[in-house]
A and B are shown apart, each in its own frame.
Chain A
Amino acid sequence: MSQCAVNVENLSFAYTPGKAVLNIKSWRLKTAESVFLFGPSGCGKSTFLNLLSGLLPVSSGQIHINDTNLSALAPSKRDAFRAKSIGVVLQQFNLVPYLSVLDNIRLASYFSSGSKDGKVEQRAGELLHELNLPNDVLFSQASELSVGQQQRVAIARALINQPAVIIADEPSSALDADATDAFMQLLKSAVKKTSASLIFVSHDQSLSKHFDRVESLMDINHLGRES
């Protein structure tokens, strides 16, 4: 259990009672392991990710992340847990547009620790350097960056609190082929350094080569297969 970053058991979820959209008997992810999840739209990908990140409450069953039973936490505790232990990178709109890059990263740090961390600026600078971003990006407004830059800043923002799990939901779909490749390399190396587990969701199966495991959500979600 201890080397298990994510442990899902008998998980089911329904938006409206009696109409479950997700049912997972058992699913595990080891520490520092990366998994590529794919599946057609409507198979419950987003629901699964929202459950893992604690944005949605579990209907029944359990989700353990690093020995914390997410399904047993109160909503506000789940929010705090997400801030601390889960980094999320979305398809786009990963940053608060009117804040500077640094303020975006600071905000993520603030939500995790509840206070202002003086070292954030230094660590953010290091992360941006790793992600091949010039240092002055730190002080530009998020909305002024290119999409590629925004997505890389999103990685930095997701990693700033050294989370146990990184959840990436189609993070490269807005990028062209070359940028996607560079993005994948940077993501992999940055995540590797923090030894976080990575859950990567995409329908672009060409990306699956970058990951330890490749799974179809249709195989995991019993209800998804039926429908």
Chain B
Amino acid sequence: MILSVAKRSLLDRKYSVLLTFIALFVSVCLLISIEHVRKEAKQSFYRTVSGVDLIVGARTGQINLLLSSVFRIGANANALSWESYQRISQHPLVEWSIPLSLGDSHKGYAVIGTTNDYFEHYRYGDKRELSFDEGNRFGYGATNIFDMVIGADIAKQLNYNLGDQVVISHGVGEVSFSHHGEHPFTIVGILAATGTPVDQAIHIKLSAVEAVHSKPSHTSALSRPSATKSNEEHKAELHEHEHKHEHEQHGPEHERHEHKQHEHEHAQHESHAHDEHAHSEPEPSQISAFMLGLQSRIAVLQLQRQINQDKQEALSAIIPGVALAELWRLVGAVESVLRLISSAVLVASLLGLTTMLLSSLRERKPELAVLRVMGARPSFIFWLIQLEAMSIALCASVSALFFVFMAIFLSSDWMLTNYGISLGASIFTVHTLLVVALVMCATFIIALAPSISAYRRSRLV
């Protein structure tokens, strides 16, 4: 009975009710979609890397290392020696390792020097492997040294196909004055879309990174057939050039800072070079970072500490999950602001609802008195007002849910093709239901003012 009374009462004041409904509808839409995008963004953020136990680079902050190695934002100026990489990747606790060499770019996209281990072990999302849309991994042997594998976005944005010739530039940034023009690369593989920074990355062989930075005269030497399968051939003499190169990149202020370290590296490299000569197994002198997969996750903290306290080189090992969480705290602040604004909008429209209810109380005074005269308890009056408020809020929430669902459902393809943002249409999660529940609670609390006022008045006739 109270339901039909509330329904008729709302219909009687349909214009003010409709306006209140629209205000609430818009704010709940805002709240739900912001929450949804926030959640999706966070999810895709945490999806970027998984299954990697540690990321190791030269001594730096964990966010720096994460940004440069996973997101390819801002190159980590410091490099770590190949020798350290070799030493740590052969640690008994390590199951696999992926070396990464950063610092080059192609039309603004990061170029990553790595090995086929990258395609073998890198995981994203729910421990998903990288798969190929077209083509395959780097070919083996020296003839395939300028092989290139590109991410899905790059293939789409730059309209590249298998077999295309690509020239990479030195340094990051869209405009570079130093092109490695004499070493064109050939696209041999195009990765399937992952929704992670991998889509926007260009992968070349680690040894090719060394090759493009060498003088033209050295390049010919690289066409020498390789003896090993996985490690690319490389001339030990390249080291000298590489160091020169590094100095150029760092600039004077860096040079001063890192002078000591470089000396240290020099010392190491000399012995390293001797090693290489002895084994006639040419390798890169240094890399930017490497990723490690361990035998057991229990060993992560132990190995992290060991690497951080490494006596031969100043290194930093980070746990991707921990670093991602720290980075998200920085990025997430923006989301919090959005959330705050949409909450404020919600509160404003709820206040509008209360105002509507309160102002209608005056004109409803005789009506409420009749209800009392008929034998209605004051609590009936209280719940009538509450019910009216709650039904407006519930209708607004449900239609907002439906609207946002349809909007996402209809625009998800467009969003994916135009912005590369994949939005799941599954907004009917516990989280959104929680938002709706929160809206209902807020409505109840905020509608207490008119309800109690009506209750009090009706109690004293």
Contact = CB atoms under 8 A, between A and B. Distances in A.
Contact of B374 (A56, A92, A111, A116): A111
Interface string B362-376: 000011011111111
Interface stretch (B1-9, B75-83, B298-306, B418-426): B1-9
Contact of B8 (A80, A88, A99): A99
* Most B-side CB within 10 Å, residue of A79, A106, A112: A79
A112 B1 CA distance: 13
A83 B367 contact: no
A98 B11 contact: yes
Contacts, number: 67
B264 interface: no
Contact of A93 (B5, B9, B367, B379): B367
B377 interface: yes
A76 B377 contact: yes
Nearest to A93: B366
Interface in B369-404: 369-380
A90 B12 CA distance: 23
A174 interface: no
A70 interface: no
A82 B8 contact: no
A93 B369 contact: yes
Interface in A69-106: 75-76, 79-80, 82-84, 88, 90, 92-99, 103, 106
B375 A93 contact: no
Given A55-B461, A98-B11, A110 B1 contact: yes
B14 to A, nearest CB: 10
* Most A-side CB within 10 Å, residue of B8, B369, B371: B8
Contacts of B366: 92-93
Contacts of A90: 369-370, 373
A98 B9 contact: yes
Given A56-B461, A98-B8, A80 B375 contact: yes
Given A95-B370, A96-B5, A79 B376 contact: yes
Nearest to A98: B12
Contacts of A83: 374-376
A208 interface: no
* Most B-side CB within 10 Å, residue of A103, A108, A111, A112: A111
Contacts of B459: 75
A108 B375 contact: yes
A79 B373 CA distance: 8
A107 B370 CA distance: 11
Contact of A103 (B8, B12, B367, B378): B8
Nearest to A167: B373
A116 B4 CA distance: 12
* Most B-side CB within 10 Å, residue of A50, A56, A97: A97
A157 interface: yes
B373 A107 contact: no
Contacts of A75: 377-378, 459
Given A107-B1, A107-B5, A116-B1, A97 B12 contact: yes
B205 to A, nearest CB: 79
A18 B286 CA distance: 97
A83 B376 CA distance: 7
A55 B377 contact: no
B375 A97 contact: no
Nearest to A89: B373
B377 to A, nearest CB: 5
A55 to B, nearest CB: 5
A189 B322 CA distance: 86
Contacts of A94: 370, 373
Nearest to A54: B375
A197 interface: no
B461 A108 contact: no
Interface in A37-76: 50, 53, 55-56, 75-76
Contacts of A103: 4-5, 8
Nearest to B7: A98
Contacts of B461: 50, 55-56
B367 A112 contact: no
A98 B5 CA distance: 9
Given A50-B461, A98-B11, 16 more contacts: A75-B459, A79-B372, A79-B376, A79-B377, A79-B378, A80-B375, A83-B376, A88-B374, A90-B369, A93-B367, A94-B370, A95-B370, A99-B8, A103-B4, A103-B5, A106-B1
Interface of B: 1, 4-5, 8-9, 11-12, 366-367, 369-380, 459, 461
26 contacts: A53-B373, A55-B372, A55-B461, A75-B378, A76-B377, A79-B375, A79-B376, A79-B378, A82-B375, A92-B366, A93-B367, A93-B369, A94-B373, A96-B5, A96-B367, A97-B12, A98-B8, A98-B9, A98-B11, A99-B5, A103-B8, A106-B1, A107-B1, A107-B374, A110-B1, A111-B375
